[in-house]
């Protein structure tokens, strides 16, 4: 997706991108309130963003002090939502959104940690539910989530490898069984991972989607070679130490991230527009993922979606223009 970035604010020679997220449930990726995480970035001048927010207010006419994506997603405001996403709207060519299918993110992280081979994640993810059944697949996802998250109940290592053993006995001789057999040998690595928490929580939790999404957003906008400065809504997760990690990670990956600063969303119309896009994209993508998609809205969202979104479901991924990883 190529965008007209000329409208974006500039800091020196860098491009300024305003960002926000939707769907954050921390590390609870299998039992939270949402099944999709979205991180949006917009390249709008302050004047253009303020004009867009004013137009939305004039069209919706809600008494709310702060507008959110939920206002736009109400059926009575369908025309406003379509205007915002349309090619003639204020964001087209100036906004992008990175999507994460949360359960796929869990599988990807688990196999990356335990097997050093996240490529098998797509195989396991696509075959897991058909082979294990709904209950078996849910048990695997929840056990993997508990193993990887910092906060947990009971012994997550025993629970995970017990689940792997049960599924392996029940479904031998399949491609999925081959992956389970590999996982069954990785207990020492899982124990070492959990032991690493004894000294305190890690700076970058493996299952938190926000930090890698910010790095990816920087990569999306710096592809032309112009350095990018990100302006992000304040988040408790974005401590100075984690911001330094984001900047260091981007630099090591050759991403032109010039810096990241935090603002209060209600004081920056550009971040408000990013919040609109993130919330809208999360809802449209979730509906598509669950088989209740709106073809017109999915088509309107499609030009904004990062082609390297972390997405495992092939059918919805193709419709959202988020190719399946793997």
pLDDT tens readout for residues 211-254: 999 999 999 999 888 899 999 999 999 999 999 999 999 999 99
Mean pLDDT estimate for the chain: 92
Q: 270 is in which domain, residue-wise? A: 1-326
| Per-residue model confidence (pLDDT) at position 2 | 27
Residue 4 near residue 224 (C-beta atoms within 8 A): no
- Residue 9: pLDDT band (50, 70, 90) is low
Share of the chain above pLDDT 70, in %: 94
Strand partners, 11: 14
pLDDT at 4: 33
pTM of the model: 0.92
Q: Rounded to the nearest 10 degrees, what angle do helices 102-115 and 175-184 cross at?
A: 50
- The confidence score (pLDDT) of residue 64 equals 65
Phi, psi of 185, deg, nearest 5: -90, 0
Instruction: Give the phi and the psi of residue 229 in degrees, each rounded to 5.
Output: -110, 125
Give the residue, 325 or 193, on which the prediction is more confident. 193
User: Is a pLDDT exceeding 60 seen at residue 316?
Assistant: yes
pLDDT confidence bin for 7, thresholds 50/70/90: low
Q: Is residue 169 classed exposed, middle or buried when 0-12, 13-18 and 19+ CB atoms within 10 A define those classes?
A: exposed
Q: 3-class SS at 23?
A: coil
pLDDT value at position 6?
Answer: 41
Extract the tokens encoding 3.
């965008």
Predicted confidence at residue 320, as pLDDT, reads 97
Which residues are CB-contacts of 45 (< 8 A; sequence separation ≥ 6)? 7, 8, 9, 270
Read off the pLDDT of residues 86-135 as tens digits, 9 standing for 90 and up: 999 999 999 999 999 999 999 999 999 999 988 899 999 999 999 999 99
**Cα torsion at 304, 41, 279, 326 (round to 10°)?**
60
CA distance 119 to 26: 24
Q: Could you give the number of structural domains in the chain?
A: 1
- Taking the C-alpha atoms of residue 266 and residue 276, their distance in angstroms, rounded to an integer, is 12
* Contact (Cβ atoms closer than 8 angstroms) between residue 18 and residue 231: yes
pLDDT digits (tens, 9 = 90+) for 18-60: 999 999 988 999 988 899 999 999 999 999 999 999 999 999 8
pLDDT average, residue stretch 134-141:
98
């Amino acid at each position: 997706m190529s965008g007209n970035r000329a409208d974006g604010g500039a800091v020196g020679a860098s491009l300024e991108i305003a960002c926000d997220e939707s769907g954050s449930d921390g590390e609870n990726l299998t039992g939270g309130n949402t099944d999709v995480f979205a991180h949006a970035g917009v390249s709008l001048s302050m004047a253009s963003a303020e004009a867009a927010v004013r137009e939305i207010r004039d069209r919706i006419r809600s008494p709310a002090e702060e507008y959110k994506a939920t206002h736009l997603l109400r059926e009575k405001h369908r025309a406003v939502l379509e205007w915002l996403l349309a090619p003639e709207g204020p964001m087209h060519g100036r906004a992008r959104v990175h999507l994460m299918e949360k359960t796929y993110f869990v599988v990807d992280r688990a196999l990356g940690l335990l097997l050093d081979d996240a490529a098998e994640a797509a195989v396991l993810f696509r075959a897991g539910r058909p082979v294990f059944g709904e209950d078996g697949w849910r048990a695997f996802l929840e056990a993997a989530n508990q193993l990887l998250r910092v906060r947990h109940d009971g012994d997550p290592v025993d629970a995970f490898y017990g689940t792997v053993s049960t599924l392996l006995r029940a479904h031998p001789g399949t491609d999925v069984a081959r992956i389970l057999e590999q996982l069954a040998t990785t207990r020492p690595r899982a124990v070492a991972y959990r032991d690493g928490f004894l000294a305190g929580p890690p700076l970058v939790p493996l299952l938190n989607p926000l930090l890698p999404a910010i790095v990816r957003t920087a990569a999306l906008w710096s592809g032309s070679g112009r350095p990018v400065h990100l302006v992000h809504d304040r988040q408790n997760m974005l401590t100075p130490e984690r911001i330094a990690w984001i900047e260091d990670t981007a630099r090591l990956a050759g991403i032109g991230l010039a810096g990241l600063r935090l603002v209060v969303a209600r004081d920056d119309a550009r971040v408000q527009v990013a919040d609109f896009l993130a919330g809208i994209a999360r809802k449209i993508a979730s509906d598509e993922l669950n088989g209740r998609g709106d073809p017109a809205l999915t088509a309107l969202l499609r030009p904004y979606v990062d082609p390297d979104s972390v997405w495992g479901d092939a059918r919805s991924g193709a419709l959202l223009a988020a190719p399946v990883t793997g």
